[in-house]
Amino acid sequence: MSSEPDGLVEEKEVTVLVLTYLSGLSLAGPLDCTDVGESAMLEATLEEGINVTFSWMTEGFEDRSYVVEEAPTRVVENYTCPKEGNFTVTVNASDALTSEEATVEVCCVNHVSRNWKLESDSPKIAPPGEITVTLSYIGDATYFPLGAVTDMDFGDSDSKKDILIDSESFSVTETHAYAQGGVYNVTAHVRNSVDLESFTTEVLLLDKLGDLTVTAQYAENENSENKDLHGPDRTDVPVNAVVSFFCNVSGSAENYTMETEGKTVTQDGSNPIFTNQYEEVGEYVLTFVASNFLEESNSVTLTIRVMAETVGLGLTADPTSILPGDEVVFSIEFVFADPFTCISFDADEGETLETFANEETCRLVLEDGMHFNQRDEQRKRRETEEASWVDDNNISIRYVYNKGGVFKPIAKAFNTIFGVNATAEVEATFPPASIWIENNSTNIRRPMKAASIINTGTVSECFKAPITSSTCNHHPSSLHGCDPSSPEGAAPSFMYPPRKRGNNLLLQKRVIPISEYFREETFRLETTAQVYDHPSRSYEMAWHVDRITSANEVLETIDISSIRSSNCSALRFPHRFLDVGLYKVEYTIDIYGGTSNMGMTRFCRSKPLFLGGYNVGVAPFGPSPMMGRTHVMRREGWLMCCS
């Protein structure tokens, strides 16, 4: 300041520049990590300084620069985490003379978040029961939590820890095998240093389907108990039966399917029983399958045969009374027979059974003891025998009985469930066996003359000897005794008259020819034998002549060796060969059987002769013995020679 003379004071302003050095720069950030995308607050503090320029020297902050006129001062800036990691933030403070820098570490992290997906390739079949589980990050890659790991719990008491999540694929995959089927919850626990999240998914394991089996039972009606099917393969049921099919399979079966007659029926796994009622005869094929949405079981095919009883079966024979060797025509008739029925015919003579209709059923039941007649075949086994279908409900059989007896042929109609019979009766009777001795005089000038006594009368005075009853000696093994008075041993009344000891013989409408020979005459006796019920075998024939008294006592046996000829069926008596008297001439045939013991059947005929004797008819004998047994039949009489 200066003073002027006039007393005025002159003032002048002087600016003095005083420079203050910049000092006390610091930078502070958050103590905790900041989520990626979020802002971290940074605070820069300057204790002294004038006209200080602050510049941020970190990525993302390049364009952030401004001047602060005077310190102390505090500058706040928000730093946004661009990605996960630790970042260094630098701030520079400068004036005209000097500058300072301060740094701070900013931690940027990603939370685990909920941006994850846990999935599997369920459902699968167990065994093997392998399930693949994949945990994937589905968020923005920026926010993928680097270094995150997962722990997996598979829901069957098995787990796996600290599984590293791949930072390139942002996922992790694990495979686990389940021992058995079921529903399991798989849980993935995803964690990093700051966060933990859990994710769960459900997996389904189906037990593998085993072999499907189907069994069938039937009930006669809805109120009856079930029973097993009939037949060797358990396929047969009666008509109107209610058949239940029981499906059984191991594993996870969600559905059961039955196909039959072009129809498909499906039931869920809780109902493995199908039911059908069959009202018509026939054969039905059914196929069953068990399934779930992953697989099907094996298929099972069953055949059901529905059967009915034969209706109206009848057997008739024409004629019913025959001679052995005659033909009988049998007729088998029926109103209805199902296609599974076998019809058999047994003639009751030990022959092979004749069978018709269903051959399978016939062979199943009768095996090899049969002959099957095809529908279009005419069966011919002997010249007069055949079996044939007349029409759909009539079978004709021509049969020849070669043996004697009463036969009860039977026709049977049967399947594996039902069976009905029909019978008839045929009697085959042999004509009476006969053996007799005939008179055949060789005296042309004086041929034989037979005197006859009709009805009841007395034998001529020339023949007063009593006639004894016939002698019938049977082998002990024969069927009947030899008592002529018994029904078996006695001859029918028209064959043999009753006898009475004494001089008189009562005759009942019989003709007894009496032929007389003289000692000077030559005469001949011939035999005829008719034995129908004995097969032709080797045989022996013999003559035997006894001289007897009127009381049938043997006086002597005549040696006839000199008069026997090669023709054993005849005996020729030369003149004067026999003395005057009463003789008994007997003729015997021994028929030998074809057995190893050479059993014999004997037929005898005795002729009484008064040197010209008479024919007394057929001798009595019992029914035919069996082959190989001895049957002796003898007829006694007398021969009397007169002078």
pLDDT at 596 over 60: no
Pair (267, 236) in one structural domain: yes
Residue 435 pLDDT level (bands cut at 50, 70, 90): confident
Q: What are phi and psi of 141, to 5 degrees?
A: -60, -25
- Share above pLDDT 70 across residues of the chain, in percent, rounded to a whole number: 73
Pair (359, 283) in one structural domain: no
Domain that holds residue 538: 518-593+630-642
What is the edge-to-edge ordering of all strands in the sheet holding 370-372?
370-372, 353-357, 342-346, 410-414, 419-423
Pair (79, 101) in one structural domain: yes
Whole-number pLDDT of residue 534:
58
Pair (233, 143) in one structural domain: no
Pair (284, 346) in one structural domain: no
562 found inside a domain: yes
Pair (302, 342) in one structural domain: no
Pair (291, 194) in one structural domain: no
Strands 236-238 and 300-307: parallel
Supply the DSSP symbol for 362.
H
Pair (330, 411) in one structural domain: yes
Q: What are phi and psi of 363, to 5 degrees?
A: -70, -30
Mean pLDDT, rounded, for 187-203: 93
458 found inside a domain: no
Mean pLDDT, rounded, for 614-640: 33
Residue 532 pLDDT level (bands cut at 50, 70, 90): low
Residues in the chain: 643
16-30, 515-529, 570-584 — which is least confidently predicted? 515-529
Q: Up-side HSE of residue 203: CA atoms within 13 Å toward CB?
A: 30
Whole-number pLDDT of residue 593:
60
pLDDT at 62 over 50: yes
Residue listed under structure tokens 């009595």:
620
Q: Which residue has the higher pLDDT, 626 or 547?
A: 547
Mean pLDDT, rounded, for 430-452: 58
pLDDT at 504 over 80: no
Residue 187 pLDDT level (bands cut at 50, 70, 90): very high
Residue 222 pLDDT level (bands cut at 50, 70, 90): confident
Pair (151, 180) in one structural domain: yes
Pair (227, 290) in one structural domain: yes
604 found inside a domain: no
Residue 325 token pair = 């060797």
Whole-number pLDDT of residue 216:
97
32-46, 309-323, 413-427 — which is least confidently predicted? 32-46
pLDDT at 29 over 60: yes
550: domain CATH number? Answer: 2.60.40
Residue listed under structure tokens 């072009």:
262
Cis peptide preceding 128, ω within 30 of 0: yes
Most confident stretch, 307-321, 360-374, 443-457, 558-572 = 307-321
Whole-number pLDDT of residue 621:
29
Whole-number pLDDT of residue 410:
97
120-141: pLDDT as tens digits? 999 999 888 999 999 999 998 8
Mean pLDDT, rounded, for 294-317: 96
Mean pLDDT, rounded, for 475-502: 32
Radius of gyration of the chain (CA): 66
305-319, 462-476, 513-527 — which is least confidently predicted? 462-476
Please state whether 445 falls in left (phi above 0), alpha (psi between -120 and 50) or beta.
alpha
Whole-number pLDDT of residue 193:
83
Pair (524, 421) in one structural domain: no
476 found inside a domain: no
Question: Chain centroid to CA 213: how far?
Answer: 15
418 found inside a domain: yes
Residue 478 pLDDT level (bands cut at 50, 70, 90): very low
Residue 393 token pair = 């409900």
Mean pLDDT, rounded, for 625-629: 31
Whole-number pLDDT of residue 113:
87
Strands 300-307 and 410-414: unpaired
Most confident stretch, 159-163, 479-483, 502-506 = 159-163
Mean pLDDT, rounded, for 49-57: 86
Give residues with Cβ within 8 angstroms of 140, minimum separation 6: 115
Give residues with Cβ within 8 angstroms of 360, minimum separation 6: none
Whole-number pLDDT of residue 565:
66
Q: Which one, of 244, 201, 188, lies nearest residue 220 by Cα? A: 244
Question: Chain centroid to CA 439: how far?
Answer: 75
What is the edge-to-edge ordering of all strands in the sheet holding 255-260?
236-238, 300-307, 282-291, 255-260, 263-268
Cα–Cα distance list, 590 to 93, 301, 605 (Å): 162, 70, 12
Among 81, 109, 137, the domain boundary falls at 109
Residue listed under structure tokens 């966060």:
195
pLDDT at 380 over 60: no
pLDDT at 208 over 50: yes
User: In total, how many domains does the chain have?
Assistant: 5
Mean pLDDT, rounded, for 363-385: 70
Residue 273 token pair = 């029983």
449 found inside a domain: no
Whole-number pLDDT of residue 610:
58
Whole-number pLDDT of residue 195:
87
140 found inside a domain: yes
Cα–Cα distance list, 612 to 305, 450, 468 (Å): 82, 9, 20
Pair (105, 128) in one structural domain: no
Please state whether 113 falls in left (phi above 0), alpha (psi between -120 and 50) or beta.
left
Residue 555 pLDDT level (bands cut at 50, 70, 90): very high
- Share above pLDDT 90 across residues of the chain, in percent, rounded to a whole number: 42
Question: Chain centroid to CA 609: how far?
Answer: 79
Strands 434-441 and 379-382: unpaired
Whole-number pLDDT of residue 516:
62
Residue 293 is which amino acid? F
195: domain CATH number? Answer: 2.60.40.10
Q: Across the strands, what pairs with 134?
A: 119, 173
599 found inside a domain: no
pLDDT at 518 over 80: no
Give the Cβ contact number of residue 269 at 10 Å. 15
Q: Which residue has the higher pLDDT, 630 or 324?
A: 324
Whole-number pLDDT of residue 533:
62
Give residues with Cβ within 8 angstroms of 358, minimum separation 6: 339, 340, 341, 342, 415
79-83, 155-159, 599-603 — which is least confidently predicted? 599-603
224-281: pLDDT as tens digits? 899 999 999 999 999 999 999 999 999 999 999 999 999 999 999 999 999 999 999 9
